[in-house]
Structure 1
C-alpha cells in the first residue's frame, strides 16, 4: 500500500509539472462554456421570438432544457480528460520516463494502477470545471430568459455528480488507451477521430433504426451519456435504446478496464529501451 501511495504521488507530480493539463483544462472550460451558454441563449431568444422566428416557433416549449444544456459538459467535453489520460501515459514512452519509474518501482502493475488512480482524480477535477462552465454560463443564459434552470432540483445535482464521475472514468480510459497504443501521435489521432467522427456518426445512424440503436448504445460515448442521464443526442433519437444510468457506468468502467488490461498485456510488460 505504501508503494502504491508513493506511486500515486509520483504520478501527480509528473502530471502537474507539465503544461498540458492546464492548457486542456482552459480549452475545456471555454469550449463547453461557450457551447452551453450559446445554445441556452439561442434557445431563450428563439422561445421569445427575438430572432425573427415564425409565430409557430415563438413560445416553443423549453421544459427540460436545463439538463440537456448542463450535460454538454460531458457530451462534448469528454474528449479532454480522455486526451489527458492518453497523453499522461504516452508521454512516458515518448520522453522515456518509464525507465526511471520502473527502476524506482519494479512492480509495473502498481505503476499502472497508480496512474489510473491519479488520472481518475484529475478527470474528476476536469468534470468539476466543465460543470461550472455549463451550469454557470448555461444556467445564467436560461435564467436571463426566465427559463427554468432546475437548480433547485435534486435530479439536477445528481446529474452533476454523475457527470463528474463520467469525466473521471474517461481519464482512466485514456490511460488504458495510452498503455495499449504507446505512440503519442497515433493515440491523439485515435482519440480525435473516434470521439469527433466515428462514434457521432454511428450514433446518428443508430437513430434511424431500433436494431442499430441497440448496438450503438454500448459504445463508450453512449454509455457515458446514459451514466450522466441526459444528452443532446436525446434530441435526435428521443432517448431510445438507452441504458440505465448505472448500466452506462458499468459499461464505461468495463471498457476502461478491458483496454487497460490489453495495454498491460501487450505493451506495459515489455522491455523498455
Structure 2
C-alpha cells in the first residue's frame, strides 16, 4: 500500500508544470550566483581584480582551497527555498484542489498517505539538489579554472560536500511538506516560505553572530543547521572575527533539520490532516 501511495504521489507531482519550472529557475539562479562569486573571488585571488576595486580590501576574502566549497554550497545556502516550495505546494495543492477526498477514499489510512508524500518529496528534493550541484559545480568550477583557482574536483572532501548538499535539499523538501500540512492555505504557505527564507531567517542569523549567547541559539535555526550539514556557507564570510559560536557538526545539523521536518509534519497531521475534508 505504501509503495502504491508513493507511486501515486509521483504521478501527482509529475503531471503538473510547477516542478520543472522551479527546477529551471533553481538552475539559473544558482548558476548565476556561483559563477558570479567564483569570478569575483577568483579574480581577486589571481590578481586580475584588485581587492580595493572589489571593495573587500582583502579582508574576509576566500581564496585557494577555501573558495570551491563556498561556491559549491550555494545550492543549499540560498537555493533551499525551491525544495521547500515544491514540498509545500505538493501538500497545499491537495487542499486547494480538493484531491484529498478521492485520495482518502482510496486509502483511508491518512498517516500512510502522508508518509508516502514525504517519501516522494524526499526523492524530488534530492533531484533538486542534483540540479543545484550541476549549476554550482558546473559553472563555478569552470569559472574558477579560468582564473587559475583549483576547483578541487579530485578532492574526496568536495564530493562529500556535494553528497551532503543533496541530502540537505531532500530534507528541505520534507520540511516543505510539513509546513504545507501545518498551514494548508497555499497562499499563506508561500508567503511564509518566502518571507522566512529570504528575509526573516537571514536577518536573524546575521544579528545572532555578534553575541555568543545568541550565536549558540542561532546555530539551531533551520538554515544554519542545513549549512552545518553541508559543511560550508556564504554566511561564514559575514561572521565577525572572534565573535559567535562554532557551528554544529554535519551530522548534528542533519538531525536538527530532520527534527524540523518531523515536528512540522507530525504537528500538521494533528492540526489539519486528520480533519474532515470535502
TM bracket, shorter-chain basis: over 0.9
Counterpart position of 2:152: 150
Q: Match for 2:6 among 3, 8, 12?
A: 8
CA contact (8 A) 2:41 2:62 kept: no
Counterpart position of 1:21: 19
User: Aligned equivalents of 2:234 and 2:245: distance in 1?
Assistant: 13
Q: Match for 1:111 among 110, 113, 126?
A: 113
Counterpart position of 1:166: 168
Structure 1 pair 213/112, CA: closer, same or farther in 2 (3 Å)? same
Structure 2, unaligned stretches of length 5 or more?
none
Shift of the alpha carbon at 1:240? 3.6
Structure 1 pair 190/80, CA: closer, same or farther in 2 (3 Å)? same
Shift of the alpha carbon at 1:197? 0.5
User: Aligned equivalents of 1:53 and 1:89: distance in 2?
Assistant: 47
Partner deviation per Cα, 1:214-235 (whole Å, 9 max, x = no partner): 0011010000000000001111
Q: How does 1:31-46 map to 2 (within 5 A)?
A: 31-46=29-44
User: Aligned equivalents of 1:35 and 1:188: distance in 2?
Assistant: 23
Larger displacement relative to structure 2 (175-184 or 239-248): 239-248
Shift of the alpha carbon at 1:119? 0.1
Shift of the alpha carbon at 1:85? 0.1
Counterpart position of 2:227: 225
- The yes-or-no answer on 1:71 pairing with 2:73 is yes
Q: Match for 1:100 among 92, 99, 102?
A: 102
CA RMSD of aligned residues (A): 1.6
User: Aligned equivalents of 1:52 and 1:138: distance in 2?
Assistant: 20
Structure 1 pair 47/168, CA: closer, same or farther in 2 (3 Å)? same
CA contact (8 A) 2:129 2:166 kept: yes
Shift of the alpha carbon at 1:61? 6.2
SS of the aligned residue for 1:233 comes to helix
Counterpart position of 1:62: 63
- The yes-or-no answer on 1:250 pairing with 2:255 is yes
Shift of the alpha carbon at 1:210? 1.1
CA contact (8 A) 2:227 2:253 kept: yes
Counterpart position of 2:28: 30
CA contact (8 A) 2:31 2:135 kept: yes
CA contact (8 A) 2:46 2:148 kept: no
Shift of the alpha carbon at 1:45? 2.0
Q: Match for 2:264 among 256, 259, 264?
A: 259
User: Aligned equivalents of 1:53 and 1:221: distance in 2?
Assistant: 29
Shift of the alpha carbon at 1:54? 4.1
Q: How does 1:193-204 map to 2 (within 5 A)?
A: 193-204=195-206
Counterpart position of 1:270: 275
User: Aligned equivalents of 1:95 and 1:8: distance in 2?
Assistant: 19
Shift of the alpha carbon at 1:52? 5.4
Query: What is the total number of aligned residue pairs between the two structures?
Result: 270
SS of the aligned residue for 2:89 comes to helix
User: Aligned equivalents of 2:41 and 2:28: distance in 1?
Assistant: 19
Q: How does 1:120-199 map to 2 (within 5 A)?
A: 120-199=122-201
User: Aligned equivalents of 2:75 and 2:268: distance in 1?
Assistant: 28
